[in-house]
A and B are shown apart, each in its own frame.
Chain A
């Protein structure tokens, strides 16, 4: 009964007045023909009040003619009529729509950016940098690329070990955990200067401590170059040692070798510029896949774009994934031995750039060999440089 009542409230019902001598007969006929009448009251002689659903009313109207009763509508009730009335009030409706749109729009804007971390200083600088990178109040939260900002934070702040961006309502909360950097060696901590790389010593310039190696010595990685334990000369005790923090420059000849392989025939991928989009709707762990038209590219690359939450970020399980297909044209390019050598040279030069910091290049030798079996040109670069190989190492 409750269900029927609720249904009628939704669909709408009318309160009617039945006037006639044989109103009971009308009620009987209505009941037997499957109509639902309720709250039937007699208010006067020959007059009944009753409630009936909208659809039932039209049937009842037909029956009333047969039983010579008259029906008058007293009141229209229910959601159906309420909406009907609303339809006439266009401005009000417009207001409602505008209101909802405004709420939605305002709630999809980031109003505040917060950084949570222990140190106030770090908080301020991160906040300032985020603003510069584009994460500031006023941007839309839906197309906020969290990963981009996280990467930027982690890249730019070496003392941040972990960061997380969370969107909570209209606030963006950036959680940052500061890393405790290993403490720099104190001035007083005694240490050696040891070799960072294998090489032949070219020059030793001890500023503090005792040079253990001399020019021409071959050292391997980890060998002590300038000792921090200095034997004190003189006195009777003889073998007394003083531990100091060794300092100095140790230049050594170091060799690097790099090689690259360049195939004689190279396939170059080129985008033709034609793209096709498809969509994937994700409900929880189910995926619904659809696209307009066909991908009729002979070869293409698939790229999944960022998933977007359609409804709101609260319903994380429902999201829309656009997929982009890019048409690719593969072109075979015959470089030849000459061309491949040039290419190898170019790549080696690039690698060289990575290598060379503050080094002095003594000798550079580039060799090209042709590997017929694999159809490649192998470029080998041998580099002889002189650089400072000393690093500090604490004395245990």
Chain B
């Protein structure tokens, strides 16, 4: 309970100051390019990779990308770029 209160306070504080949330709260930033590419910034590693499904760990849980013929265009310490035919993007709690 205490933790969520603190979290809420932090969130309000940031909102009041109008700071970019992704930077301050370490939230992932997901950029989707049509149906062909997904760029995930500030990730925490790949959990699973098969051509139909890519699961990426982030600070707010798992990010699941489903589609056909997916492949990882490149991987860097804070950036993943996935290409292929993208169908679903969902956050798993």
Write the residues of chain A forming the contact surface with B, with a CB cutoff of 8 angstroms.
1, 23-24, 27-28, 30-32, 34, 36-42, 48
Apart from A24-B48, A32-B77, what 17 extra A-B contacts exist at CB < 8 Å?
Answer: A1-B74, A28-B45, A30-B75, A31-B76, A31-B77, A37-B72, A37-B75, A38-B72, A38-B74, A38-B75, A40-B49, A41-B51, A41-B71, A42-B49, A42-B50, A42-B51, A48-B49
Least CB distance, B53 to chain A, in whole angstroms: 11
**Given A31-B45, A32-B45; A40-B77 close (CB under 8 Å):** no
The answer to whether A24 touches B74, judged by C-beta atoms less than 8 angstroms apart, is no
Least CB distance, B62 to chain A, in whole angstroms: 13
Interface of A is mostly: mixed
Give the residues in chain B near A23, CB-CB below 8 Å. Answer: 49
The answer to whether A27 touches B75, judged by C-beta atoms less than 8 angstroms apart, is yes
Give the residues in chain A near B49, CB-CB below 8 Å. Answer: 23-24, 27, 40, 42, 48
Kindly state the separation between the CA atoms of A41 and B71 in the bound complex, as whole angstroms: 5
Chain B 37-78 near chain A by CB (<8 Å), digits 1 or 0: 000000001111111000000000000000000011111110
B45, B47, B48, B75: the one contacting A40 at CB < 8 Å is B75
Kindly state the separation between the CA atoms of A31 and B75 in the bound complex, as whole angstroms: 6
Write the residues of chain B forming the contact surface with A, with a CB cutoff of 8 angstroms.
45-51, 71-77, 80
Question: How many cross-chain pairs have Cβ atoms below 8 Å apart between A and B?
Answer: 48
Interface of B is mostly: strand
Give the residues in chain A near B73, CB-CB below 8 Å. Answer: 38-39
The answer to whether A37 touches B74, judged by C-beta atoms less than 8 angstroms apart, is yes
Q: Which residue of B lies closest to A32 (CB)?
A: B77
Give the residues in chain A near B76, CB-CB below 8 Å. Answer: 31, 36
Kindly state the separation between the CA atoms of A41 and B45 in the bound complex, as whole angstroms: 16
**Given A31-B77, A32-B77, A34-B77; A24-B47 close (CB under 8 Å):** yes
Give the residues in chain B near A24, CB-CB below 8 Å. Answer: 45-49
Give the residues in chain B near A41, CB-CB below 8 Å. Answer: 51, 71-72
Give the residues in chain B near A48, CB-CB below 8 Å. Answer: 49
26 chain-A/chain-B pairs, Cβ below 8 angstroms:
A1-B74, A24-B47, A24-B49, A27-B46, A27-B49, A27-B72, A28-B45, A30-B75, A31-B75, A31-B76, A31-B77, A32-B45, A32-B77, A36-B74, A37-B72, A37-B74, A37-B75, A38-B73, A38-B75, A39-B72, A39-B74, A40-B49, A40-B71, A40-B72, A41-B51, A48-B49
Kindly state the separation between the CA atoms of A208 and B77 in the bound complex, as whole angstroms: 111
Give the residues in chain A near B45, CB-CB below 8 Å. Answer: 24, 28, 31-32
